[in-house]
Structure formats: structure tokens, C-alpha cells
Amino acid sequence: MDTVDASSVLLEWAPDLAKRLARSEAEIRAHGLTMDDFSPRRSVDLKFPDGSHARFLFAFAVANAERHAVAVFTEHYGSFIFRGLPEMPDIEVHEDVYNQA
């Protein structure tokens, strides 16, 4: 996992975020993410090859195959970048959306 500042993550991931959020790259770069981009019913689970896992609530994930990376964006705790290493297989990403009945 990389430690990065929020503005550099937005700049680097703006094209991917624009596709995911159906907003322009320019808007994302200028205004960042908003609370409307997150849902209390959405979570992200990452499963790693060694059996470890991580769960993020109020979050969504964006994968980029060219970078061999997954970015997790959380409402309250910022962003996290997980990069795959050549010697390990890809990270599994599962997103859950809980619908209220």
C-alpha cells in the first residue's frame, strides 16, 4: 500500500474516477470527491494472496490494469492505493451494496 496525499491521488486517478462517477475529469480535479460519491450501503473488501483481507465501509474501489493497482476511496479516511507485485497474483476486490428492504 502506498502513502500518498489526496490531491496527487485525484490527479493520478481522475480518468478512472470520471468513468466510475460519470463526471468529467476536470470537475474531479477541480472539486474532488463529495459526500454524494459515497454511500453508507457500499463497502469494499480486498482479499490478498496470503489470505489477509481489508474491509472499508463508506467506500468504493477503482482498478487499473495498466498500473496493476487498485485505489480505494473512503468517505472518512481518504484513499489507499494497493499495487500488485510481479511475484504475487492480483488482489481480489469485492464491492457490496446493501439494499434496504
- pTM beyond cutoff 0.85: no
Pairing of strands 59-64, 69-74: antiparallel
Q: Is the pLDDT of residue 88 over 50?
A: no
Q: What is the mean pLDDT of the chain?
A: 81
- Using pLDDT thresholds of 50, 70 and 90, give the confidence band for residue 45: confident
Q: What are the pLDDT digits (tens) for 52-82?
A: 888 899 999 888 888 888 889 999 988 999 8
Task: Look at residue 24 in the predicted model and tell me its pLDDT.
Answer: 95
**Distance between CA atoms of residues 73 and 51, nearest Å:** 22
Give the CA distances from residue 75 to residues 35, 53, 56, 71, 72, in Å, rounded to whole numbers and listed in that order: 7, 20, 10, 13, 10
